[in-house]
């Protein structure tokens, strides 16, 4: 029995040592793992710190950029208005608040536009504000999102500069024309003086007096036409318009060309037909067309002048000759000031025609063929009363 017990104790002792060894190994492994974990924590902490620093820098840069963009938007020298998909105002800059007040947010753009903007002439993108400024309007869809951005730019100064430039150009043109006019007037004036001096002679018979009188009137008419062209051109389309009977207008034209080779073809309009025109300016413009047609036709061909009312309120006047015709190059230049192919022309006749037609919101066009003749057509929306309209009123 004693031997068995002793043998058992000797067997258990190595197992305890092994357990301690295993424990020590596990402890060492845990220690090593903890150290590795600490190292990883340090690395991850540094990475997180770096990431946080970069994120903070990114957010800071983003805030700075947003602040810079906000400052740029506020500093834009024009009214910037941002609209949402319902066309409501969601953002404005300092200029917009200065021009239109501080209560813009939430308003409908269409209502604001109708209350603050007034169309300027025929330029649909230019408007006049209540403070007298002239602005250019531009709209563009926001990229990548719904809504639009509206920009109103002050172009008052540019317009003033443009007007000054046009005025200086006109002064230069008038200087050029004055020199030309002095040269052109000299010949008919000298002729008129000669014919007038002959009329005072007691030796002339009635037939000779009539001959010199006719020539004198013809020279004076040329002088009057040249001076009238200059005056009408200087008006730049600013003519006073009044109601005139169309029949009276036609009679004036017929009287001016009585005895000349002009055939008048009248349309079907009544005595009551009234047109809103600058009488003298329009008579002068049509006279320019007729004079050109007569000169081009020579003495063997008649000139046709057709006058009719079309499309209710449009006055259509056509002057047709059978002259030498115009080339395409000439047709492109004839309405430009001071362009002429005549030895005694001022180059203002058709420029005046264009000014007068534009002042009446009309249009003029030329159709011509070399060797066939030229047709000048004028359409003016100036008819304000006709026989039919009067019948409806009664």
Mean pLDDT (the chain) is 82
Is 229 part of any domain? no
| Spatial CA neighbour of 261 closest among 218, 198, 310, 304 | 304
- Would you state the pLDDT for residue 289? 93
Which domain, by its residues, includes 260?
238-387
Q: How far apart are alpha carbons 342 and 175 in whole angstroms? A: 20
Q: Which two tokens stand for residue 101?
A: 């007040």
Same domain, 137 and 242: no
Is 270 part of any domain? yes
Counted domains in the chain: 2
Listed residues 158, 181, 216: the one ending a domain: 158
Burial 242-281 (b: 16+ CB within 10 A, else e): eebebeebbebbeeebeeeebeeeeeebeeebbbbbbbeb
Same domain, 143 and 246: no
**Which CATH number does the domain housing residue 118 bear?**
3.30.450.20
Judge contact between 264 and 253, C-beta under 8 A: yes
Label residue 391 by pLDDT band (50, 70, 90).
very low
Tell me: pLDDT of 357 over 80. yes
Q: Which residues contact 319 (CB under 8 A, 6 or more apart)?
A: 286, 289, 290, 293, 303, 304, 305, 375, 376
More confident call, 193 vs 368: 368
Q: Which two tokens stand for residue 176?
A: 């050029």
Is 54 part of any domain? no
DSSP structural state of residue 91: E
- In the chain, the largest separation of any two C-alpha atoms, in whole Å, equals 192
Q: What is the mean pLDDT of residues 258-278?
A: 89
Q: How far apart are alpha carbons 374 and 324 in whole angstroms? A: 8
Is 179 part of any domain? no
Is 59 part of any domain? no
Judge contact between 275 and 249, C-beta under 8 A: yes
Same domain, 269 and 374: yes
Q: Which two tokens stand for residue 228?
A: 């009238």
Judge contact between 77 and 95, C-beta under 8 A: yes
More confident call, 148 vs 393: 148
Is 317 part of any domain? yes
C-alpha distances in Å from residue 191, one per residue of 197, 203, 211: 10, 20, 13
Residues in the chain: 394
Tell me: pLDDT of 88 over 80. yes
Q: Which residue has the tokens 């269409």?
A: 110
Please write the tens of the pLDDT for every residue from 173-232: 777 767 766 766 776 777 777 777 777 777 778 787 788 788 777 778 777 766 776 666
Same domain, 128 and 246: no
Is 286 part of any domain? yes
Q: How far apart are alpha carbons 331 and 81 in whole angstroms? A: 47
pTM over 0.85: no
How many other C-beta atoms are found inside a 10 Å radius of the C-beta of residue 288?
A: 23
Same domain, 253 and 127: no
Same domain, 147 and 257: no
Q: What is the mean pLDDT of residues 316-340?
A: 88
- Would you state the pLDDT for residue 238? 65
- Would you state the pLDDT for residue 393? 37
- Would you state the pLDDT for residue 387? 58
Judge contact between 309 and 246, C-beta under 8 A: yes
**Which CATH number does the domain housing residue 336 bear?**
3.30.565.10
- Would you state the pLDDT for residue 6? 47
Lowest mean pLDDT among 197-211, 227-241, 255-269: 227-241
Strand, coil or helix: what is 14? helix
Listed residues 158, 183, 214: the one ending a domain: 158
Strand, coil or helix: what is 366? strand
Is 105 part of any domain? yes
Lowest mean pLDDT among 142-156, 358-372, 380-394: 380-394
Please write the tens of the pLDDT for every residue from 44-77: 888 888 888 888 888 888 888 878 877 888 888 8
Reduced DSSP (H G I as helix, E B as strand, rest coil) percent helix, strand, coil of the chain, to 5: 55, 20, 25
Please write the tens of the pLDDT for every residue from 7-27: 444 444 557 778 888 888 888
- Would you state the pLDDT for residue 2? 46
- Would you state the pLDDT for residue 390? 42
Listed residues 106, 124, 158: the one ending a domain: 158
């Amino acid at each position: 029995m004693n031997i068995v017990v002793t043998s058992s104790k000797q067997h258990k002792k190595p197992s305890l040592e092994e357990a301690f060894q295993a424990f020590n190994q596990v402890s060492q492994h845990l220690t090593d793992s903890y150290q590795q974990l600490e190292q990883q924590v340090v690395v991850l902490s540094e990475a997180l710190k770096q990431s946080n620093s970069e994120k903070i820098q990114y957010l800071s840069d983003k805030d700075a950029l947003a602040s810079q963009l906000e400052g740029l938007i506020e500093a834009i020298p024009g009214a910037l208005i941002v609209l949402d998909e319902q066309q409501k105002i969601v953002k404005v800059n300092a200029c917009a608040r200065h021009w239109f007040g501080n209560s813009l947010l939430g308003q409908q753009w269409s209502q604001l536009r109708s209350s603050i903007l007034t169309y300027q002439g025929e330029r649909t993108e230019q408007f006049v504000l209540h403070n007298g400024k002239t602005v250019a309007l531009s709209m563009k869809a926001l990229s990548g999102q719904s809504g639009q951005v509206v920009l109103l730019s002050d172009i008052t100064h540019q317009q003033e500069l443009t007007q000054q430039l046009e005025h200086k150009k006109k002064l230069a043109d008038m200087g050029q024309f004055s020199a030309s006019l002095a040269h052109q007037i000299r010949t008919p004036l000298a002729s008129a003086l000669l014919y007038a001096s002959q009329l005072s002679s007691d030796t002339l018979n009635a037939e000779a007096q009539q001959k010199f009188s006719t020539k004198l009137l013809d020279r004076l008419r040329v002088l009057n036409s040249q001076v009238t062209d200059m005056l009408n051109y200087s008006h730049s389309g600013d003519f006073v318009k009044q109601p005139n009977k169309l029949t009276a207008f036609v009679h004036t034209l017929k009287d001016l060309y009585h005895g000349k080779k002009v055939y008048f073809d009248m349309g079907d309009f009544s005595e009551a037909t009234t047109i809103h025109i600058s009488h003298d300016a329009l008579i002068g413009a049509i006279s320019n067309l007729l004079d050109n047609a007569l000169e081009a036709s020579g003495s063997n061909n008649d000139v046709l002048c057709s006058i009719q009312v079309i499309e209710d309120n449009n006055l259509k006047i056509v002057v047709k000759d059978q002259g030498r015709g115009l080339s395409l190059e000439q047709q492109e230049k004839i309405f430009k000031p001071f362009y002429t192919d005549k030895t005694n022309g001022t180059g203002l006749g058709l420029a005046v025609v264009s000014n007068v037609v534009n002042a009446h919101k009309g249009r003029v066009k030329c159709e011509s063929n070399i060797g066939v003749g030229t047709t000048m057509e004028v359409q003016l929306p100036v008819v304000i009363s006709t026989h039919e309209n009067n019948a409806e009123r009664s």
